[in-house]
Amino acid sequence: MSTTEESTTKAPFVVIAEFDVEPARLADFLAVARDDAAHSVVDEPGCQQFEVIVLEGSSTVVFYEVYDDRTAFDAHLETPHLARFRAAFPALIRAESTVRFGALRSA
């Protein structure tokens, strides 16, 4: 890749969100989380990947999301499926960690 190509190529925008879910409500949380993830990938052209990960031996759930760029993520924030998730999840968790942002870089 030339220097010109490298300077115009944007790295995908990564979002990592983490939730400490009430153990008795984990199935309910996963249902609304998977709805958000599935619609993000299917309905949003700028969403490349959305994984819902349950950490082994816990009720901690991590979202790993990859978007084309920050603009695509900002569009995600306005979707009906995220609004459904936002309405449902507070009653299902004990705590939410600060959302972290990054860029996907090739090795």
Along the chain (107 residues), what's the average pLDDT of each consecutive run of 10 residues? 50 97 98 98 97 98 98 97 97 97 85
Structure tokens at 106: 């090739």
Query: Whole-model pTM above 0.75?
Result: yes
| pLDDT score recorded for residue 102 | 96
Helix (H) or strand (E) holding 33: helix 26-43
- What's the CA angle centered on 65, arms 59 and 66, to 5 degrees? 160
| pLDDT score recorded for residue 107 | 62
Q: Residue 80: exposed, middle, or buried by beta-carbon count in 10 A (0-12, 13-18, 19+)?
A: exposed
Tracing tokens 């153990």 back to the chain, one arrives at: 23
Q: Which CATH architecture has domain 10-101?
A: 2-Layer Sandwich (3.30)
